[in-house]
Chains A and B, each alone.
Chain A
Amino acid sequence: DTGVSQDPRHKITKRGQNVTFRCDPISEHNRLYWYRQTLGQGPEFLTYFQNEAQLEKSRLLSDRFSAERPKGSFSTLEIQRTEQGDSAMYLCASSLFLSTDVITETQYFGPGTRLLVL
């Protein structure tokens, strides 16, 4: 299967610790998105990359959050000094964006990383 993969699938950490999540997009997809989902809510956009460039960040992405996509392939999302409010499912999605004139972009989501901050 060549879908979006995320690692780890589950993470339990203590408040104040740093955590890092990894996302491997579908091969050849040039866009990669991060979303956060809390219980009972739909996913909320955090940030996205086109190739290596981080093009947009949500105001939800506080200074404790940082995302990278160094070679335009996999991406990492790091949360520093975790807080209990960071407990959520972190979702990654990828897409192939071809042109600003053509809506061919469909985002394909990974299984998510579920974070629990104690």
Chain B
Amino acid sequence: DAKTTQPPSMDCAEGRAANLPCNHSTISGNEYVYWYRQIHSQGPQYIIHGLKNNETNEMASLIITEDRKSSTLILPHATLRDTAVYYCIVRGLYGQNFVFGPGTRLSVLP
């Protein structure tokens, strides 16, 4: 599975959009981009995943660049409860387990 690079930390003002970048320059054609988040002392929570088209659900939007070498997770109106570590994971068709990096620690500030 391709490796991902994320900034170690980010701040966002409450009510504003949080844009979390992820670089996956070695991604191959059949690999999906997954996003999870982990709020302190809880298990990781699934957010969204995509292959090449942009995706949106009730939690977030996932924007994948045309060359698929990077993506952005967008939380449209961040709240204090969105403070968490966000993990970007690239997973292949036959990849079984998720390989988690250190993620991005997002702090939503009042």
Q: How large is the interface on A (under 10, 10 to 19, 20 to 34, 35 or more residues)?
A: 20 to 34
Which of B46, B85, B96, B103 lies at the interface centre, i.e. has the most chain A CB atoms within 10 A of its CB? B96
**A33 touching B97, Cβ below 8 Å:** yes
**A56 touching B97, Cβ below 8 Å:** yes
**A48 touching B96, Cβ below 8 Å:** yes
The interface on chain B, measured as residues whose beta carbon lies within 8 A of the other chain's beta carbons, has a size of 23
Q: Which residue of A lies closest to B42 (CB)?
A: A111
Contacts of A48 in B (CB 8 A): 96-97
A36 to chain B, nearest CB (A): 11
B83 to chain A, nearest CB (A): 16
Q: Does A108 contact B (CB under 8 A)?
A: yes
Q: A55-B96, A100-B93 are in contact. Are A43 and B42 (CB under 8 A)?
A: no
**A112 touching B42, Cβ below 8 Å:** yes
A3 to chain B, nearest CB (A): 9
Interface positions, chain B 42-58, Cβ under 8 Å from A, are 42-46, 49, 51
B38 to chain A, nearest CB (A): 8
**B46 touching A42, Cβ below 8 Å:** no
27 A-B interface contacts by CB (under 8 A): A4-B43, A35-B97, A40-B102, A42-B85, A42-B87, A42-B100, A42-B103, A43-B100, A44-B100, A55-B96, A56-B97, A91-B44, A103-B32, A103-B51, A103-B93, A106-B34, A106-B49, A107-B46, A108-B46, A109-B36, A109-B43, A109-B45, A110-B43, A111-B42, A112-B41, A112-B42, A112-B43
